[in-house]
Structure 1
Amino acid sequence: MMTLYVDAARNVHDGQSAVGAVLIINKQQQQLKKALPQSADNHEAEFMGLIWSIKQLPMVDNLQIYTDSKIVADAIQKKYAKHYQSYVDQIMTLLTEYPLVLVNWIPEKQNQGAHQLAMQALKKAKR
């Protein structure tokens, strides 16, 4: 089972967004981060960040995703999000490659690794 912790960060002044992800496979940890395009709000940044993160993953049998975004976790489980359906559709298409996908919401304090990576990428993008 591959485990992915993902979080996005967004600058409220200019809309610049970034993503941080911690990937764990066979007890080996990999840290990923990237500046994203501007986003309309933090929710959009979270969806964009998850899409980017999934695209970085190697093909492994099963995937467990942890996010501190309640809207993202709920949207994937329901396969629906009123204002973000195009993102949900992209995510669902990407996830069809995995026989088993578990999506879990976790509190922010349990997602600090991904959060710190997102903040680093956001600061770097501002330079």
Structure 2
Amino acid sequence: MSWINKMIRLYTDGASSGDPGPSGVGIVYVLADGTTKEDRYFIGSASNHEAEFMALRIGLLTCLHHGWRQVSVCTDAKLVCDSVEKRYVKNKHFSTHLQVILKQVDQCELFFIKWIPSKQNKKADALAKLALREPLRRFNEEGV
């Protein structure tokens, strides 16, 4: 099986009501066979940027948990995309999130990240907003 047949596509988005305020993340996993899985979490109080970083953290954590180590991420968060590509973020508050993400990325066999327009990320956006409005599941690092 070629590497392209094992690649997982990950769409992530974060939403916040306030800056900071109650926040949620939405994640869509497109598996190698074309099936999709969806996830959403309420993450408590965060800024929108922080929610975007958390969406990627949670998505990668889930991928690694399931043994999916070839990951292509699509995000409409330019700050997150640029920070991961450069392996640097100026804001110290986001630096903690970036360090966790980079450790996760280093565990992947293949990793790609690209920025996409919001209109191409509608499902992850809807899930993030739903997690914000209906906080049924709170993210917990141990309970992926």
Q: TM-score range by the shorter chain?
A: over 0.9
Aligned position for 1:20: 26
User: Normalising by the residue count of structure 2, what TM-score does the alignment of the two structures yield?
Assistant: 0.82
CA contact (8 A) 2:10 2:72 kept: yes
Q: Who is 1:65 aligned against?
A: 73
Q: 1:14 to 1:88 in 2, by over 3 A?
A: closer
Q: Deviations over 1:14-61 (max 9, x none)?
A: 61110001001121100110101211x211111112111211222124
Residue 46 (1) aligns with residue 56 (2): no
Q: Is the 8 A contact 2:70 2:110 kept in 1?
A: yes
Q: How many residues align?
A: 125
SS of equivalent residue, structure 1 residue 55: helix
User: Shift of residue 13 of structure 1?
Assistant: 6.9
Identify the residue that residue 75 of structure 1 maps to in structure 2.
83
- Partners of 1:74 and 1:17 lie apart in 2 by 22
Give 4+ residue runs of structure 1 displaced > 2 Å after superposition. none
**Corresponding position: 1:111 with 2:118:** no
TM-score by length of 1: 0.92
Decide which of 103, 106, 122 is 1:93's aligned counterpart. Answer: 103
Unaligned 5+ runs, structure 2: 1-6, 137-144
Distance in 1 between the 2:103 and 2:88 partners?
13
Corresponding residue SS for 1:16 = strand
8 Å Cα contact 2:71/2:110 also seen in 1: yes
Give ranges in structure 1 of 5+ residues lacking alignment: none
Q: Check whether the contact 2:19–2:48 (CA below 8 A) recurs between aligned residues.
A: no
On the 8 A contact 1:36/1:49 being kept in 2, the answer is no
Separation in 1 of the partners of 2:75 and 2:58?
14
Identity of aligned residues (%): 31
Structure 1 pair 81–123 and aligned structure 2 pair: CA distance change class (3 A): same
Verify the 8 A CA contact 2:24 2:43 in the aligned structure 1.
Answer: yes
